[in-house]
Amino acid sequence: MASAAADRPKAAERIQTAAKGLFYRQGIRATGVEEVCRAAEATKMSLYRAYPSKDALVAAVLCEDAAAYDAWFEAATAHAPTPGAKLRAAVEAFATKLESPEYHGCPLLLAQAEFPDPAHPTHRLVAEHKTRMREALAGLAREAGAARPELLGDALAILIDGAWSTVPYMGGARAAEVLRRTAATIFRDALP
């Protein structure tokens, strides 16, 4: 039988999990490494052994967020039979997320807002992920026969990211409703 200590996640895992939650709830800049260590029940030495800097920890968290998004997007669209249906399924999955009370916005966009300098590694990491997202949407639009697939991909990216940004003042339910209705209008005009 394994001991309780052996079953406990390693310090690096606890640190990254704690940082992810704290960064999402209160922001990256507002969260110090001491607070992360307290929440993770780890020492600063453990943190810096696993992550040479706070920026490295931020990058690890954001890479995890991006990978989770990619897996979520794949799962959300996997059962749709056509590329057009996949686009509609993606919009519905985003809308459903917006309605969930634990979501306060896209963690990647929240991070990028804290680091507006395009040369900053955090800003670049988010920009690369968002570019992949736009390209995936444009690729589905192309496969669905859209006359202007890049424009449709960009329109959906703006609509989805815009919906996230309205949650604080519009509420998730209203943001989801507007996302669904606006996407339906866009699809009517853009898809054959």
Domains of the chain, residue spans: 8-52, 59-190
pLDDT at residue number 6: 55
- Asked if pLDDT for residue 5 goes beyond 80, the answer is no
pLDDT at residue number 103: 86
- Asked if pLDDT for residue 106 goes beyond 80, the answer is yes
- Residue in the structure block whose two tokens are 């509609």: 88
- Residue in the structure block whose two tokens are 């968002």: 130
pLDDT at residue number 8: 62
- Asked if pLDDT for residue 98 goes beyond 50, the answer is yes
Query: What would the pLDDT profile of 107-138 be if each residue is shown by its tens digit?
Result: 999 999 999 999 999 999 999 999 999 999 99
The CATH architecture to which 8-52 belongs is: Orthogonal Bundle (1.10)
Mean pLDDT of 12-21: 97
* CATH number given to 59-190: 1.10.357.10
User: 119-143 burial, b for 16+ CB within 10 Å, e for fewer?
Assistant: eeebbebbeebbeebbebbbebbee
- Asked if pLDDT for residue 39 goes beyond 90, the answer is yes
Mean pLDDT, the chain, whole residue set: 94
- Separation of alpha carbons 137 and 33, rounded Å: 37
pTM: 0.87
pLDDT at residue number 23: 97
- Cβ–Cβ under 8 Å, residues 43 and 10: no
